[in-house]
């Protein structure tokens, strides 16, 4: 009887999943998605490049360029954690839709 009543209750309960991509999931504020970098905030200290466990980040201080091979990113958040700038020059956004048809299209130069 308990099983039957539980089954009936579940019939009227809202699902835990969403119909993606029609409906976007509600992400946690701590969700770690696509990396972004702000040239105007960066002090070119190389902390993020050194902390990255997968050699994703390459910085060219002379050209003021930032290259992140997102194919290799683990979304661990270390780069953001070590960035000494209070407003974080590098941070992980809530963006998770990064699929591309070609692998070469994924690496990003800022
Ligand atoms: S999230 Fe982790 S793996 Fe990705 S760039 Fe930052 S430190 Fe590297
Ligand atoms: S840790 Fe922050 S300030 Fe330092 S190079 Fe990386 S993004 Fe720039």
What the chain holds in terms of domains, given with CATH numbers, is: 27-109 (3.30.70.3270)
* Residue 77, token pair as written in the block: 């958040």
Residue with tokens 């466990």: 53
Tens-digit pLDDT profile for residues 14-33: 888 999 999 999 999 999 99
Ligand 2 in reach of 45 Cβ (< 6 A): yes
HSE on the CB side for 2, CA within 13 Å? Answer: 0
User: Of the bound ligands, which one is closest to the alpha carbon of residue 92?
Assistant: 1
Alpha carbon nearest to ligand 2 atom 2, residue: 83
Q: Return the pLDDT at 50.
A: 98
Q: pTM value?
A: 0.84
Residues with Cβ < 8 Å from 66, sequence gap 6 or more? 37, 39, 42, 57, 58, 59, 60, 90, 109, 110
Q: Return the pLDDT at 3.
A: 79
Q: Which of 103, 83, 101 is nearest to 92 (CA)?
A: 83
Tens-digit pLDDT profile for residues 43-79: 999 999 999 999 999 999 999 999 999 999 999 999 9
Pocket around ligand 1: residues whose beta carbon is below 6 Å from it? 35, 51-54, 56-57, 68, 73-79, 92
Q: How far is the CA of 54 from the centre of ligand 2 (A)?
A: 16
């Amino acid at each position: 009887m308990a099983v039957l009543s539980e089954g009936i209750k579940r019939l009227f309960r809202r699902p835990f999943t969403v119909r993606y991509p029609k409906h976007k999931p509600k992400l946690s504020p701590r969700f770690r998605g696509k990396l972004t970098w702000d040239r105007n905030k960066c002090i070119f200290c190389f902390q993020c490049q050194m902390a990255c466990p997968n050699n994703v980040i390459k910085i060219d201080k002379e050209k003021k360029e930032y290259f992140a091979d997102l194919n290799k990113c683990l979304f661990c958040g270390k780069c953001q954690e070590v960035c000494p700038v209070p407003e974080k020059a590098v941070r992980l956004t809530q963006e998770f839709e990064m699929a591309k048809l070609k692998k070469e299209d994924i690496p990003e130069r800022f």
